[in-house]
Amino acid sequence: MSLKTKILLLLSSVILGVATIVATYSILHDKDQYEARMSDIYQSVRLNYEETLHDIVRFYVSRADANMKTEGVLNAFRSKNHDALYPLIAPRWEVMRQENPMLTIMQFHNADGTSLLRMHQPEVYGDPIASQRSMVAHIHREHKTVYGFEEGRQGLAFRILTPVIEDGVYLGAVEFGIEASYITDKINRYTGYQSFFMIQENNVGVLSGISNFLQIGDMLAINVSSKLLPLIESYKNQHQILENSVINYANQTYAMKAIIVNNYLNQPIGAVIFVQAVADFSNHVFQMIIATALITLVLIFILWMIVSRVYDTVAEKMSFQEAYNQTILDAIPSPVIVTDGHQLIAANKTFLAYFHYTNVAAFKREHQCVCEYFEEGDTEEYLLPMVNDQRWSEYISDHPYVHHKAKITIEGKTTIFEVKLSVLRFHQEKRYVVIFTDISSIQARSMTDPLTGVANRLHFTMVFQHTINMALRDQKTLGVIFFDIDHFKEVNDLYGHLIGDEALKHIAALVKQRLRKSDIIARWGGEEFIILLPDSSLEETLSVAEILRKTIELENFERVGRITCSFGVAALKNDESSEELLTRLDKLLYKAKESGRNRVVY
pLDDT tens digits, 360-389: 899 989 888 889 888 887 677 788 888 888
CA–CA distance from 566 to each of 298, 444, 545, 591, 594 (Å)? Answer: 66, 29, 10, 9, 10
511 pLDDT exceeds 60? yes
Give the pLDDT score at 251: 78
pLDDT tier at 272 (50, 70, 90 boundaries)?
A: confident
Q: Please indicate whether the domains covering 333-446 and 448-601 agree at the CATH topology level.
A: no
* Distance (Å, whole) CA 509 – CA 521: 10
Domain spanning 333-446: which CATH class is it, in words?
alpha beta
What is the three-class DSSP state of 371? Answer: helix
In percent, how much of the chain has pLDDT > 90? 39
Average pLDDT over the chain reads: 85
**pLDDT 10s digits, 338-361:** 998 888 889 999 999 888 898 989
Contact 337, 370 (CB under 8 A): yes
pLDDT at 319 over 80: no
Residues 282 and 246: their CA atoms lie apart, in Å, by 11
pLDDT of residue 23: 78
Q: How far apart are CA 299 and CA 8, in angstroms?
A: 12
Instruction: Output the pLDDT for position 246.
Output: 77
Mean pLDDT calculated for residue range 229-247 = 74
46: CB partners within 8 A, 6+ apart = 259
Reported in sequence order, the residue ranges of 140-251 that DSSP labels E, i.e. its strands, are 146-150, 157-166, 169-179, 194-200, 214-216, 219-222, 245-249
Kindly report, residue by residue over 546-600, the tens digit of the pLDDT: 999 999 999 999 889 999 999 999 999 988 899 999 999 999 999 999 999 999 9
Looking at residue 206, what is its pLDDT?
45
- The fold for domain 448-601 equals Alpha-Beta Plaits (3.30.70)
Q: Band the pLDDT of 212: cuts 50, 70, 90.
A: low
Beta-carbon contacts of 374 under 8 Å, excluding residues fewer than 6 positions away, are 382, 383, 384, 385, 392, 406, 407, 408
> pLDDT tens for residues 134-166?
899 999 999 999 998 887 665 678 899 999 999
Task: Answer yes or no: is pLDDT of 223 > 80.
Answer: no
Q: Specify whether the CB–CB gap between 198 and 271 falls below 8 A.
A: yes
Whether the CA torsion 290, 294, 297, 303 is positive or negative: it is negative
Q: How confident is the model at residue 496, as a pLDDT?
A: 93
- Residue-wise pLDDT for 25-59, tens only, equals 887 877 787 777 777 777 877 888 888 889 999 99
Tell me how many degrees the CA angle 465-470-476 measures, rounded to the nearest 5: 120
Q: Answer whether residue 318 shows pLDDT above 70.
A: no
Is the pLDDT confidence value at 210 over 60? no
For residue 261, name the pLDDT band (cuts at 50, 70, 90).
confident
| Structural element, H or E, at residue 190 | helix 180-191
CA atoms in the 13 A half-sphere facing the CB of 78: 11
Angle between helices 314-331 and 3-68 in degrees, nearest 10? 20
Q: Which of 127, 128, 158, 160 is nearest to 146 (CA)?
A: 160
Comparing 161-175, 303-317, 575-589, which segment has the lowest mean pLDDT? 303-317
- Statement: residue 312 has pLDDT above 70: no
What is the band of 208 on the pLDDT scale with cuts at 50, 70, 90? very low
Confidence of residue 315 (pLDDT cuts 50, 70, 90): very low
Residue 205: what pLDDT? Answer: 58
DSSP string across 287-339:
HHHHHHHHHHHHHHHHHHHHHHHHTT-HHHHHHHHHHHHHHHHHHSSS-EEEE
Determine if the pTM surpasses 0.75.
no
Q: Is the pLDDT of residue 446 over 70?
A: no
The band of 400, judged by pLDDT with boundaries at 50, 70 and 90, is confident
Evaluate if residue 238 carries a pLDDT over 60. Answer: yes
Q: Given this model, what pLDDT does residue 317 score? A: 65
- The pLDDT assigned to 485 comes to 95
Percent of the chain with pLDDT over 70: 92
Residue 188 pLDDT more than 70? yes
Give residue-wise pLDDT tens across range 116-128.
999 989 999 999 9
User: Which letter does DSSP use for residue 78 in this model?
Assistant: H
Q: The domain 70-177 is classified under which CATH number: 3.30.450.20, 3.30.365.10, 1.10.10.60, 3.40.50.300?
A: 3.30.450.20
Q: What Cα–Cα distance (Å) separates residue 362 from each residue in 358, 501, 585?
A: 7, 49, 53
Q: Would you kindly state where each structural domain of the chain is located, as residue ranges? A: 1-45+280-331, 70-177, 193-279, 333-446, 448-601
What DSSP assignment string belongs to 196-225? EEEEEGGG--GGGG-S--EEETTEEEES--
